[in-house]
Amino acid sequence: MAMTDLPIMKRYIRTCRDGWDQGWHERNGGNLTYRLTKAEVDSMRTFFNDKPGEWVNMGVTGANLAGEYFIATGSGKFFRNVDIDPEDSLCVVEINDKGDSWRIVWGLVNGGRPTSEFPTHFMNHSVRCAATNGACRVIYHAHTPNLIALTYVLPLTDRDFSRVLWQSATECPVVFPGGVGVVPWMVPGGAEIAMATCEKMKEYDAAVWAHHGLFVSGPDFDTTFGLMHTIEKAAQIYVLAMSCGQGIRQTISDDGLRAIAHDFGVKIKEEFLD
Ligand code: 2HA
Ligand code: ZN
């Protein structure tokens, strides 16, 4: 039995592979973090390094995540390589008792640090954990091409993106009835974009980063990957329809969106409907 045989590691690694297979992770693009359960941490302890790494301050604080452990992709690592070399590509980090620093307890055997977006992931975990009573465990960032394309042509508002995506596939209002948030273009990797994304994640479980990609959150890999996939596919359908060159002739009406929400028992964000 190795660390990478643990069921949670297998699922994490498969999710990285799935994202690569979708074409969302050119070079070192994208990042994935998972907040481990106490039982999962216990199942890993025998594999942890004898001596943990140094504490590294994050520049942000999530007091509700003090003492938690995360699996994270490494900064500069390629999703493409995760399944053939997980020990080089991934790490497990422990958070200190203030909720403002991490240290590596497993992985990144050839050196490195968690993803450059770790402050954003960490703050999103903090907000989504609070918003979902602890249910949220996964934050996933990918470079989804069709959705990125839409950030060049649609107004950068939560309402415009939510409506276009809901209208582009009948399942969408069921999968993300709360809509999506949109973060204007910013330099990635710092505290500013972390804070702006968090503001959106208080309300949404998905935040579009203009001209960059998408952040999604969820309780497990299937739901979270499924949300990324559904949003990107809706964007793709819209791009395909517009590419036919005659504009949108007909779409799902607002009463149609209401009817889907009603029949599937979800609460659609009414202020985005006419
Ligand atoms: O990890 O995707 O946003 C590379 C990125 C930064
Ligand atoms: Zn990115």
| pLDDT tens digit sequence for 138-148 | 999 999 999 99
The catalytic position among 117, 192, 232, 271 is: 117
SS3 of 83, please?
Answer: coil
Residue 232: alpha-carbon gap to chain centroid: 13
Bridge-based pairing state of the strands 213-218 and 101-107: unpaired
For residue range 10-20, list pLDDT tens digits in order: 999 999 999 99
Tokens (6 digits) for 184: 């204007």
- Check whether 189 has a pLDDT greater than 90: no
Atom of ligand 1 nearest to the CA of 115: 1
Separation of CA 24 and ligand 2 centre (Å): 10
Q: Which of 26, 80, 124, 141 to mutate to test the pocket of ligand 1 (most atoms within 8 A of CB)?
A: 141
Ligand 1 atom nearest residue 188's Cα: 3
Using CA atoms, how far residue 66 sits from 32, 115, 157, 197, in Å, is 20, 19, 34, 21
Q: Tokens 């359960």 appear where? A: 37
Q: Identify the pLDDT of residue 191.
A: 83
Residues near ligand 1 with C-beta < 6 Å?
28-31, 115-117, 141, 188
N-terminal to C-terminal alpha carbon distance within the chain: 56
> What is the rounded average pLDDT of the residues 69-94?
98
What confidence score (pLDDT) does residue 150 get? 98
Q: Is the pLDDT of residue 50 over 90?
A: yes
pTM: 0.97
User: Could you tell me if 79 and 30 are in contact, meaning their C-beta atoms sit under 8 angstroms apart?
Assistant: yes
Is the pLDDT at 235 greater than 90? The verdict is yes
Cα separation, 87 vs 108, whole angstroms: 6
Sign of torsion over alpha carbons 108, 116, 146, 251:
positive
**Mean pLDDT, rounded, of the chain:** 97
> Ligand 1 centroid vs 140 CA: distance in angstroms?
11
For the segment 21-47, the average pLDDT, to the nearest whole number, is 98
Q: What is the dihedral of CA 185, 178, 163, 222, to 10 degrees?
A: 80
Indicate the top mutation candidate among 31, 73, 148, 187 to test ligand 1's pocket, ranked by most ligand atoms within 8 A of CB.
Answer: 31
**Does the pLDDT of residue 190 top 90, yes or no?**
no
Q: How confident is the model at residue 152 (pLDDT cuts 50, 70, 90)?
A: very high
- Which mutation among 117, 140, 212 tests ligand 1's pocket best, with the greatest number of atoms within 8 A of CB? 117
Residue 256 is predicted with a pLDDT of: 98
Q: How far is the CA of 29 from the centre of ligand 1 (A)?
A: 5
68 is catalytic: no
